[in-house]
Amino acid sequence: MPNNIKVVIAGPRGRMGREAVKMVTDHDGMQLVSVIDYKNVGQSLDQVEGFGYLPESISIYNDLDICFNETSPDVLIDLTTPETGYRHTKTALLNNVRPVVGTTGFTSSQLDELTNLAEERNIGVIIAPNFAIGAVLMMKFSQMAAKYFEDVEIIEMHHDQKLDAPSGTAIKTAQMIRENRTSKKQGHPAEEETLEGARGADLDGIKIHSVRLPGLIAHQQVLFGSGGQLLTIRHDSNDRASFMSGVSICVETVMNLNTLVYGLENILD
């Protein structure tokens, strides 16, 4: 692993992007070489509002091919939107740049396509729906509990600027639970929704409910019920700094991978 990993960040002005710019510029083993944005192209990031603290100029690009060619990054951190993040990840792979993707909302066929492309190109990619270590533990504990409780519902709660629903974390949690759960149609066999959507989204019988409110950041509870008992496993991110140690681990780890890894739990000890 190079001790100075050259990083490009897509979405630097976003809520997560701003934290990631701080994390990378403060990290001794990483160097921020450029950023990707559709605004302020050709300017330097330290001239953009909120980035005056940067000690040196960081070029802003919109065209990924030109950015990769001129600044030779090792790793792309993508924190944008589902459509853009997917396009960026593909372009990075085609340019031998290793993507660390926090962007959520990719479809399963997009994930399959990126998995195949990473294998073809023999390049590492990490797609992590949640970089917070506590959230990963919540998912793992839920997977453990699913062996003993077959009735489970997920309630995820996020800020009201979030584009995708359900959250990437809720989908990943349900997929992990599914691996340990005896398949079951929950609720009353004759239950009917008198208001569409009342019972939430359904992933193989696991119900997912999405709450969007100002004041929230990222929260999830997984409820398991059986005769006479309820188990609640809950995680709260109250600050986006909670995601940054996970981003840092992914940037270091992706340098040694040559396939796509989906989920931070797959690279933690």
Ligand X SMILES: O=C(O)C1=N[C@H](C(=O)O)CCC1
Ligand Y SMILES: NC(=O)c1ccc[n+]([C@@H]2O[C@H](COP(=O)([O-])OP(=O)(O)OC[C@H]3O[C@@H](n4cnc5c(N)ncnc54)[C@H](O)[C@@H]3O)[C@@H](O)[C@H]2O)c1
Annotated binding site for (S)-2,3,4,5-tetrahydrodipicolinate: 159, 168-169
Contacting residue, 5, 9, 14, 248, with ligand Y by CB under 6 A:
14
**Residues 144-163 as x/- pattern, contact with ligand X by CB under 6 A:** --------------x---x-
Q: Which of 20/33 has CB closer to ligand X?
A: 20
Provide DSSP, the chain: --SSEEEEEE-TTSHHHHHHHHHHHH-TTEEEEEEE-SSSTTSBGGGSTT-TT-SS--EEES-HHHHHHHH--SEEEE-S-HHHHHHHHHHHHHTT-EEEE------HHHHHHHHHHHHHHT--EEE-S---HHHHHHHHHHHHHTTT--EEEEEEEE-TT--SSS-HHHHHHHHHHHHHSPP---S-TT---SSTTTT-EEETTEEEEEEE-TT--EEEEEEEEETTEEEEEEEEE-SGGGGHHHHHHHHHHHTT-SSEEESGGGT--
Q: Which of 10/60 has CB closer to ligand X?
A: 10
Segment interacting with ligand X (CB under 6 A) among 1-9, 61-69, 89-97, 164-172: 164-172
Q: Which of 185/234 has CB closer to ligand Y?
A: 234
Contacting residue, 58, 75, 79, 208, with ligand Y by CB under 6 A:
79
Contacting residue, 8, 30, 36, 170, with ligand Y by CB under 6 A:
36
Subset of 83-142 contacting ligand X (CB under 6 A): 104, 129-130
Contacting residue, 102, 124, 166, 263, with ligand Y by CB under 6 A:
102
Site for ligand Y (CB under 6 A): how many residues?
23
39 included as an active-site residue:
no
* Distance from C-alpha of 28 to C-alpha of 218, rounded to nearest angstrom: 28
The answer to the question of residue 169 lying near ligand X (CB under 6 A) is yes
The answer to the question of residue 130 lying near ligand Y (CB under 6 A) is yes
Contact residues toward ligand Y (CB under 6 A) are 10-11, 13-17, 36-38, 79-81, 84, 102-105, 128-131, 243
